[in-house]
Structures are given as structure tokens and as C-alpha cells.
């Protein structure tokens, strides 16, 4: 369930699990009272429809401008990161997420291509050392330590063919029976290597990105001919470099032309303190839409959690680009929906479904109770106070003041959630409960290999 929410929306994974668990708990009580599972499922579905319609009615249009006014997007991303392990760098990660999404967003089609956003992590340093690179970061370094570490106005030849002499495809033997044979073989290899380097240099390339490796002789020759190279670059990285630099992936040296080269304004090597680990940064690319978020952390667990947190923030900003409607967090939306579903159960519903609808309303309140309890507030008192105030003031923005800022108005606290996320939470939780309620019985097979003991 959590994974479905993560795949669909990218955020709200905890909320959907809390809601589904509460719905199943309420369903168990209704079953004990003799209500048929199908009637419960129908009631839940009717309540979900009422809740989604109400969410749409209380949702507000989210105003932002990619050029001049990014602050509302940053505030929304900060709401997502507030409950994550990276919350001490909440602002920095939110800005990274917003800049990354706006760099690759297509506002005409209202779509964001996540293929152009790469997230790389490296153990070491602090979370504060994380950065967004408008280009590509590859976990490789120059093939020779004496090659230049910084190249301006790089013209990249992106190759999937190795720097080595051609070999027969079938099994073969090469007999070297004398010194002359060895010298002839070495001369042949040298000429072939030189020919390959000449073909690359004739196009004007000053950096080679190669998918395959090459031996020390070819490496030395590349250094001697002043042609920097990077070897053993994986397939996905090769494709991303090609997209970012506007180059073409070339499978044979004979096909390499000036038009197929990629361009990058700056290629540099990143080194990390006293370690030997290095990474290659390709910046100011021809296709400026490709970006890489480079995350640091004290250990592998922190880096992986930072990746997951940033992914959630990216998804939230992506959702706002797709659909710019928001509701307010802190349990405000759930409580407002709970009140509306309760009214619908009393006024519009006839039959046994009204019991399921009231149970659905109670389940939504459990989200508010959980928030209050986790914040160290008295749960029942907080819920009762908020219900009274929402009804009296007719204000669906009132939620739990988790950080004790002195106001329950989530608009003032900038606690914002996307409408699509909240709607997906409700629908996914209800669909899961319906599926479980329609299970009649469970048959378990006995393990035949288990030893049988006669009593």
C-alpha cells in the first residue's frame, strides 16, 4: 500500500497506512455487529466519494512563478521534508528539489520528465555539502592520473567501441615465433591505436567518454597525444551524458563526425578530502534541462534516507506543476472531510451504509489523533477543540499545531499538501479495504515435510 502511494504520488506514504489500518479496525467492529462486508465496502466507497468531492471544494489554487516567485513551491517542499531525517537541512533540500523540477519541467504540457533528474550519493562529508549540479555527475575519473582535471569548452566523443586493435570473432591462435614477429605485432597495434586517436582528434573532440576499457599502452598513448579520456562508463550514464550534452552515441570510430560530438562548457574532477575517490562533473551542457542532485552524508544509511527524502520532495513539486491545487496539512483536510462525511451519513444515506460512512469519518479522525499524540499534545482534547472550531468558524484550514507556533491556521504555518496526494491517500486506502473485505475465507496448506508426532 505504501509502495503504491509512493509510485503514484511520491508522498503521503505514512498517512495512507494509518488511514487503511484505521478503516480495517472499524470494519472489524462493524462485522461483529452483523453488517455484511459488501455493505461495509459500499459505505466506504460512498464516503470516499463524499470526501474527495469535499476536498475539491476546499482546495485552493496554488500561485507560483518559475522565474520570479518560487517561494510557495519551496514552502510546500519543506512541509514534505519536515518529518524526514534531513529536516535540519530542510530549506536546502527543498530549494534543490524545486530547482531540479523547474529545470526539467515542460509547462506547456504540464509534465516533468524524471529521467532528466539523476540523484547521486556519496558517503562522507555533511548533509549540508549536498548540491545540485546543472549537468551530469559520473562516478568515474580520468583514465590517467596526469590527464587534465579541468576542461573548458569540452567537445565530447561518446563511444561504445573499445580502444583496442580489431580481433577475429571466431577462435584463433596468434603465433609469435621470433623477435621480428613481436616487433611487427607491436607496430601494428601502435598504428591502430594512433589511427583511432587521429580519427577522434580530426573531429575536434578534446574529451573521450568510452563505455569500454583500454589497456595501459592505449592509455599512455592518449596521454601522449593530449586526448583526455574516461573509461568504463556504464550504459545509463552514457545515455544521460548524450542527452545532456546533445551528442550522439557512436558505435564505430569510422562513424564519428563533428556533428555527433556533445558539448559541455565545463568538465571537472571532484575529489573528496584525503580519499582517492573522485567523480566527474559535466556542467553547462548543451541541453541545460538535465540536472543531478549530489548528496553527501556521514554513512550509507543517511545517504539512502536523503535520497528517499529528496525523491518525496521532487514528487510533491512535480505534482504541483501537473495540478496546482492544494489543501492544508496538519490533519486539517482529514478533519474537514470527517465532518462532511458525518453530515452526509446523517442526511443523505439510507440503510446500513450509513454505519460504514460514520466509521469512515472516525477513521479520518485517527490521523488527527496520531498527529496530536506524536507531538506530545493531549489527543482527545486537541481533536475535540479542532472539531468545534472548524464547525464554529467554518474554516477547513485549522489543524494540529505540532510545532507549537501559537496558531492552528495551517495557511499561516505554510503547512501545505497537494490535492492529488490527499485524494490518492483516501482512494488507495479504501480500495485496499474493499479488497480485504471481499475475502471470504483463507485456506492454509499443511507442510507435508513437517514431522508428524503421534500423541
Answer yes or no: pTM beyond 0.95: no
Q: 74-88, 166-180, 357-371: which has the highest mean pLDDT? A: 357-371
347-380 tens-digit pLDDT:
766 677 888 888 888 888 888 888 888 888 888 9
Is 443 a residue whose pLDDT tops 80?
no
Between the CA atoms of 287, 289, 290 and 295, what dihedral angle is there, to the nearest 10 degrees?
Answer: 140
Higher pLDDT, 276 or 47: 47
The whole-number pLDDT of residue 138 equals: 85
CA separation for the pair 350, 334 (Å, rounded): 24
CB 15 within 8 A of CB 369: no
The whole-number pLDDT of residue 10 equals: 56
CB 408 within 8 A of CB 398: yes
Task: Return the number of other C-beta atoms located less than 10 Å from residue 347's C-beta.
Answer: 8
Full DSSP string of 407-446: --BHHHHT-EEEHHHHHHHHHHHHHHHHHHHT--------
The whole-number pLDDT of residue 285 equals: 79
The whole-number pLDDT of residue 440 equals: 72
DSSP letter assigned to residue 270: E
User: Cα–Cα distances in Å, from 188 out to 164, 220, 437?
Assistant: 11, 16, 75
CA separation for the pair 262, 236 (Å, rounded): 16
345: left (phi over 0), alpha (psi -120 to 50) or beta: alpha
Percentage above 90 pLDDT, the chain: 0
The residue with cell 470494519 is 27
CA separation for the pair 75, 95 (Å, rounded): 9
Task: Return the number of other C-beta atoms located less than 10 Å from residue 18's C-beta.
Answer: 18
The count of residues in the chain is 455
Amino acid at each position: 500500500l505504501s509502495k503504491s502511494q509512493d509510485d503514484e504520488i511520491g508522498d503521503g506514504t505514512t498517512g495512507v497506512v494509518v488511514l487503511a489500518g484505521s478503516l480495517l479496525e472499524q470494519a472489524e467492529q462493524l462485522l461483529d455487529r452483523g453488517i455484511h462486508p459488501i455493505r461495509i465496502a459500499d459505505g466506504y466507497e460512498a464516503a470516499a466519494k463524499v470526501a474527495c468531492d469535499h476536498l475539491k471544494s476546499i482546495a485552493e489554487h496554488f500561485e507560483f512563478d518559475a522565474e520570479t516567485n518560487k517561494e510557495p513551491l519551496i514552502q510546500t517542499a519543506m512541509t514534505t521534508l519536515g518529518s524526514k531525517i534531513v529536516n535540519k537541512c530542510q530549506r536546502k533540500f527543498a530549494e534543490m528539489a524545486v530547482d531540479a523540477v523547474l529545470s526539467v519541467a515542460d509547462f506547456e504540457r504540464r509534465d516533468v520528465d524524471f529521467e532528466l533528474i539523476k540523484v547521486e550519493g556519496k558517503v562522507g562529508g555533511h548533509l549540508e555539502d549536498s548540491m545540485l549540479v546543472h549537468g551530469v555527475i559520473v562516478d568515474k575519473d580520468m583514465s590517467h592520473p596526469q590527464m587534465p582535471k579541468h576542461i573548458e569548452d569540452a567537445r565530447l566523443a561518446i563511444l561504445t567501441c573499445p580502444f583496442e586493435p580489431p580481433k577475429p570473432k571466431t577462435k584463433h591462435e596468434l603465433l609469435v615465433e621470433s623477435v621480428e614477429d613481436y616487433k611487427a605485432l607491436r607496430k601494428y597495434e601502435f598504428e591502430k591505436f594512433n589511427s583511432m586517436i587521429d580519427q577522434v582528434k580530426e573531429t575536434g573532440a578534446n574529451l573521450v567518454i568510452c563505455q569500454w576499457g583500454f589497456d595501459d599502452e592505449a592509455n599512455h598513448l592518449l596521454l601522449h597525444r593530449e586526448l583526455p579520456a574516461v573509461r568504463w562508463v556504464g550504459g545509463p550514464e552514457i545515455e544521460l551524458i548524450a542527452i545532456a550534452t546533445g551528442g550522439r552515441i557512436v558505435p564505430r570510430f569510422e562513424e564519428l563526425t563533428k556533428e555527433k560530438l556533445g558539448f559541455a562548457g565545463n568538465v571537472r574532477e571532484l575529489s573528496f578530502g584525503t580519499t582517492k575517490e573522485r567523480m566527474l562533473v559535466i556542467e553547462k551542457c548543451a541541453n541545460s534541462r538535465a540536472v543531478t542532485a549530489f548528496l553527501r552524508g556521514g554513512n550509507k544509511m543517511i545517504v539512502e534516507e536523503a535520497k528517499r527524502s529528496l525523491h518525496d520532495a521532487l514528487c510533491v513539486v512535480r505534482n504541483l506543476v501537473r495540478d496546482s491545487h492544494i489543501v492544508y496539512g496538519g490533519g486539517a483536510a482529514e478533519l474537514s472531510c470527517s465532518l462532511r462525511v458525518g453530515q452526509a451519513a446523517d442526511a443523505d444515506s439510507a440503510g446500513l451504509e450509513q454505519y460504514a460512512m460514520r466509521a469512515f469519518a472516525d477513521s479520518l479522525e485517527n490521523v488527527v489523533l496520531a498527529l496530536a499524540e506524536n507531538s506530545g499534545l493531549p489527543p482527545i482534547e486537541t481533536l475535540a477543540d479542532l472539531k468545534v472550531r472548524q464547525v464554529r468558524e467554518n474554516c477547513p484550514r485549522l489543524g494540529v499545531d505540532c510545532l507549537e507556533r501559537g496558531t492552528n491556521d495551517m495557511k499561516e504555518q505554510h503547512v501545505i499538501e497537494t490535492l492529488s496526494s490527499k485524494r490518492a491517500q483516501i482512494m488507495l486506502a479504501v480500495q485496499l479495504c474493499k479488497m480485504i473485505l471481499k475475502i471470504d475465507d483463507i485456506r492454509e496448506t499443511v507442510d507435508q515435510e513437517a514431522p508428524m508426532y503421534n500423541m
